[in-house]
Amino acid sequence: MENIEIIYEDDDLLAVDKPAGIVVFPEGEYKEKTLIDYLIEEYPNLKKVGAPPRYGVVHRLDKDTSGILLIAKNDKSLEFLQKQFQERKVDKLYTALVVGNLENEQGTIETLIGRSPKDRKKQKVYSALEAKKGLRTAITKYQVLQKFKNYGLIEVEIKTGRKHQIRCHFNHLSHPIAGDKLYGFKNQPCPPSLKRQFLHAGHLKIKLLNDMMLTLNSELPKDLKKSLN
């Protein structure tokens, strides 16, 4: 399997360390091989889980975001795990590098998020006054880990799992994720070696079907470490 490391496995669950640059499951006209395609080659029974094209994928990560991703091996597990995501019972921590220095060492961003009318690929923050159908609450907490001249290294906890939530929220604060081509500003600084958005899902804690708590950690990948150096 193309550089896809399995970090945990039991009869009900697979946890993989997703590399950047690969789409989790195909949407629309997407023709390239996706993560779920590679996994089905090794685990053909995943085709019986959930519904295509996502099959047993419990949650998603963007193409250029790396880190921990859960795949259920049966329908019971899929339903059980997804319910925890829906009820906001899963601990998820990301490491991100943002452009500029945030005013506060820590904070919570709570807004409505929905598709941008100007660019269908993007999400947009809406105010309470703009509330309309299709908008959903998005809650992001952050803490500054380290400050650099043009950047801030932060730990991010998401309480809701909206599409592009972290990228959209930090763009809204005028501190977009370093290397983010979709949400970044024109001519924003970028570490020379960084070829993608600096966003990594490094920690996840969830309850298993047997009532045990599973804690998973994923180290910062080499390309992001190199950018920090």
Say which CATH number the domain at 152 has: 3.30.2350.10
CB 200 within 8 A of CB 166: no
Write out the residue range of the structural domain in which residue 202 sits.
89-229
Write the pLDDT tens digit of every residue in 177-229.
Answer: 999 999 999 999 999 999 999 999 999 999 999 999 999 999 999 999 999 98
Same domain (yes/no): 61, 111: no
Same domain (yes/no): 122, 193: yes
Q: What is the pTM of this model?
A: 0.94
For residue 139, count other CB atoms closer than 10 A to its CB. Answer: 16
pLDDT at 27: 81
CB proximity list for 83: less than 8 A, separation 6 or greater? none
Q: What is the mean pLDDT of the chain?
A: 94
Same domain (yes/no): 68, 95: no
For residue 115, count other CB atoms closer than 10 A to its CB. Answer: 15
Same domain (yes/no): 83, 94: no
Per-position DSSP letters for 113-166, written without gaps between them? EEE-SS-TTSEEEE-GGG--TT-EEEEEEEEEEEE-SSEEEEEEEESS--TTHH
Q: How many independent structural domains does the chain possess?
A: 2
By annotation, the residues acting in catalysis are: 62
Pick the residue with more confidence: 183 or 31?
183
Same domain (yes/no): 124, 44: no
pLDDT at 34: 94
CA nearest to 128, candidates 141, 116, 118, 114:
114
